[in-house]
Structure 1
Amino acid sequence: MQLTVIGSSDAFGSGGRLQTCFHVAHSGGAFLIDCGATSLIGLARENIDPNSISTIFITHLHGDHFSGLVWWLIHANHVGRRTAPLVVTGPAGIEQRFTAAAEALFPGATSTARPFALTFRTYVDRQPLTEGGVTVTPFEVSHPSGAPPYALRFSVDGRTLAFSGDTEWVENLIDAANGADLYITECYAYDSTARYHMNWRTIEAQVPRLSARKILLTHMGPEMLANQHNVTHPAVAIASDGLKIAM
């Protein structure tokens, strides 16, 4: 299994980075975790064909994590000529929010006949869901977005990958990260407080409890990017667009 960081920025492209998106290739195919507005750009940079991806897992319904689905649909219909089914899993209401966004930006986009099946599935807190050979378990976190936000824990190819999504510190993150081969966590700030987000000082204090083999910091704002050199914990790495991690 290999993870490629497609986008590691906050919502605002701090540091010239792309919005949140991770590509995971495994023995049975490939999937995305989140799909920010810049996801197609990042996939093109990595020479990854969007048609090779069968499932997209969305953590929460903020634009920098799911709005790339709108451009994905247009690309799949008119450029990629996709024929393979696509499954999008996310919080309750994801299909309605996607439809509203797509119709606002490209009127008629969701009613246009498409040559592939597009299916939406929704999470239930702590209930495993299997799709495309991947089992994902959602853990509700704290980040108001009009629908429940989740940290996601993936099991595939005998490995475990977890992602916090966007959130302030909550105890559910302990269960999401428990024993993971790689735990990806948002880290918007270094030591200042950003409501409904985490900073490095909070994460640093929790590293012993997270019990993941490796921790990767992402979703970094200007303060965190300016202080990334101060993160010296041996179990912690800094995400960057294009970074590849084999598991």
Structure 2
Amino acid sequence: MNPNRTASNGAPVTVTLLGTGDAFASFGRSQSGYLIDAPGGRILMEAGPGLLQALKSNGVSTDSFDLLLISHLHGDHFAGLPFLILDYMWETPRKKLLTIAGPAKLEQRTWLLTRAMFPHFELDKIKRKLKFVVLEPGSSTRLGKFKVSAIRSPHTKPEISLSIRIDGGGKSIVFSGDSGWNDELVELSAGADLFLCECTYYESAHLKFHLNYPLLAANRDKFKVRRMVLTHLGREVLSREDEIALEMGYDGMKIEI
């Protein structure tokens, strides 16, 4: 039996794709964001620059989740954090502690970016409402009622980028993050109920720091998952949508598992 397998039972888990575009917001898609509603709580995963607009367009209060996961420190994945902090300071005062978990340097870069964008704000009060946790590659961490596991993805050097697995509520969700091909990702995703997998390129298969459609299509059978949905979709993929046989996500898509 796969040790990663979590029994699929209990109340359903719903995943809302807030942003399925790449860094270039290809075809007008929002940049990275995913909302997970599970019996154990609500998780926000990724915080692209359009995070606030995506949350509020979907009727989601910024105070409704207690865990935020970030895969890596590229702007299309974490640059929405200063706007979230801004909302907590002025519009939706944070009542409970928010845990923000991701790679090393996430806390440092978040405050650096926030200071650059809003240099005169007093941040000491809001800092007390935010707890940063480092997700170490190759380890699992208990965050609230969820087990969060991470591996290093071959996307950024020397900084660390992550692929993430979430187990909780009797379900399991794996997010590739931005990643080149990685056999560890096959192992991490084994037995998952939902695998959100980036698919940025089609023709540019020579770029090894992102996944591309021909590679994923040829190796789909290696991923022993119940459902695989492509995300972080780039221009090359979206312009050839009629040729894509694997399921593609879209902004606002709701997936029940």
- What is the TM-score of this pair, normalised by structure 1? 0.95
Indicate yes or no: 2:224 matched with 1:214. Answer: no
Matched, 1:203 2:216: yes
Mapping 1:1-247, distance limit 5 Å: 1-109=13-121, 111-114=123-126, 117-144=129-156, 147-193=159-205, 194-232=207-245, 236-247=246-257
Q: Deviations over 1:45-73 (max 9, x none)?
A: 11111100111001111111011111100
The CA distance in 1 between the partners of 2:94 and 2:166, in whole Å, is 26
Q: Percent identity?
A: 30
Q: CA deviation at 1:192?
A: 2.3
Counterparts of 2:218 and 2:241, CA distance in 1: 16
User: Structure 2, unaligned stretches of length 5 or more?
Assistant: 1-12
Q: Any idea what SS the aligned residue of 1:174 has?
A: helix
- Separation in 1, partners of 2:63, 2:82: 15
My pick for the range that moved more, 236-245 or 185-194, is 185-194
Distance 2:120 2:72 in 1: 25
* 8 Å CA contact retained: 1:61, 1:146: no
Which whole-Å CA distance do the structure 2 matches of 1:192 and 1:239 have between them? 21
RMSD, matched Cα: 1.4
Q: Could you give the per-residue CA deviations for residues 85-131 of structure 1, whole angstroms, max 9, x where no partner exists? A: 11100001111111111111111446342396210000111211111
Structure 1: 4+ residue segments shifted above 3 A: none
Q: Matched residue of 1:64: which SS?
A: helix
Aligned mates of 1:56, 1:110 — CA distance in 2: 22
- Counterpart position of 2:4: none
Unaligned runs of 5+ in 1: none
Letter in 1 for 2:236: E
Give the Cα–Cα distance (whole angstroms) in 2 for the partners of residues 114 and 125 of structure 1: 28
Report if the CA contact (8 A) 1:81-1:115 is conserved.
no
CA drift of 1:29 comes to 1.8
Q: For residue 7 of structure 2, what is the aligned residue in structure 1?
A: none
C-alpha contact 1:99 1:110 (8 A) present in aligned 2: no
Aligned to 2:10: none
CA distance in 2, matches of 1:110, 1:211: 48
Q: Pick closer, same or farther for the CA change 1:86–1:229 going to 2, 3 Å.
A: same
